[in-house]
Amino acid sequence: MIFGLVNIDKIRMEKTKSIIFGASIIGISASLWGFDGVFLTPQLYNLDVTFVVFILHLVPFALMNIFLYKKYAHLKSLDTQELLSLIFVSLFGAVIGTLAIVKALFLVNFQSVSVVVLLQKLQPIFAIFLAVTFLKEKLRKRYIFWAAIALTAGYFLTFGESKVVFDLGNNTFKASLYAVLAAFSFGSSTVFGKKVMGKLDFASTTFFRYGIATFIMLFVVIYNKSYSDFSTATSQNWLVIATISLTTGSGSMMLYYYGLKRVKAIIATIMELFFPISAVFFDYAINGNVLSEIQIVSAVVMIFAIVNLNTDNVRAIAKLKVKIKNRRNLKH
């Protein structure tokens, strides 16, 4: 009996350690995203946006081919609809979303960087809305409430106490629009990704996402003639590109999903808060930018609303899984 209790305690301890380790990994990867948005990507401002997005997918994809080349075999298991979903995931999540956020970061010129990064957190609003529209998922009553709060907070986060100027010549305003477009694109990618997540593991999805995005951006770069940046890019630019490719790009994504396997989605949602928190911290520590009082309050309110949106979504999925499991048990 005592031996059995010792074993149970040991299992619990190991499970707790695994959860703590997984949560820490997610926190580290989220902090790397914050560091990237505030410090690394803005340093490539002298390059064309299309070239930056192309090269930030090409380099990681080339590296992944060394280890994941066997993943190509998984493409045979996908039907036409699933292949189209994978293409849309790459188009919205990797191409349009990344183009929009990089453009936004370049526009603010190291000013209000944390505002641009924080606005990306509106992503779940669009993801849930699109899931209801295209996947016919049920719209929960609390969605409208929390979405309205998040969008209102995002408005005050962008403009603060200043007079709102809807001027496309204003870089901060344009950057905010691009950041919201990025949030919409990443949210769209999440919805399209649901079609292939059952067939492909994360490594395969990431591998194909980077590959398809590289292929699409190759044509964009040729059309835009931004390939000339291959010769104009400085050694500092290439160092930043290499750093992003190995750490805050595909590297941090791999870390994130490695950690996600060890924790529940609610814990992951909480640990993802290291992304906006680290962005604000790094923006202050590196660029000397400080949010106003109303922007700080707005950021906290927006993040709180988004966390509630995510938590509600996770709970709804958990309840659905229980119902499906109960139905299966009744059949047997």
For 92-111, write each residue's pLDDT tens digit: 888 998 899 889 888 887 67
* Structural domains counted in the chain: 1
Verdict on whether the full-model pTM lies above 0.85: no
Residue 97 domain-assigned (yes or no)? yes
Q: Enter the tokens of residue 26.
A: 């997610």
What pLDDT shows up at residue 266? 61
Residue 153 domain-assigned (yes or no)? yes
Residue 298 domain-assigned (yes or no)? yes
Range of the domain at 251: 23-331
Contact 84, 214 (CB under 8 A): no
Residue 53 domain-assigned (yes or no)? yes
Residue 18 domain-assigned (yes or no)? no
What pLDDT shows up at residue 163? 54
Nearest CA-CA partner of 47 in 95, 115, 103: 103
Using the CB atoms, write b or e for 154-167: b if 16+ within 10 Å. Answer: bebbbbbeeeeeee
Query: Which residue ranges of the chain lie beneath pLDDT 70?
Result: 1-12, 15, 110, 134-137, 139, 159-169, 194-195, 197-198, 264-266, 269-270, 312-332
Residue 111 domain-assigned (yes or no)? yes
What pLDDT shows up at residue 59? 92
Q: How far is the CA of 91 from the CAs of 67, 96, 188, 260, 313, in angstroms?
A: 24, 6, 10, 24, 25
Residue 214 domain-assigned (yes or no)? yes
Residue 10 domain-assigned (yes or no)? no
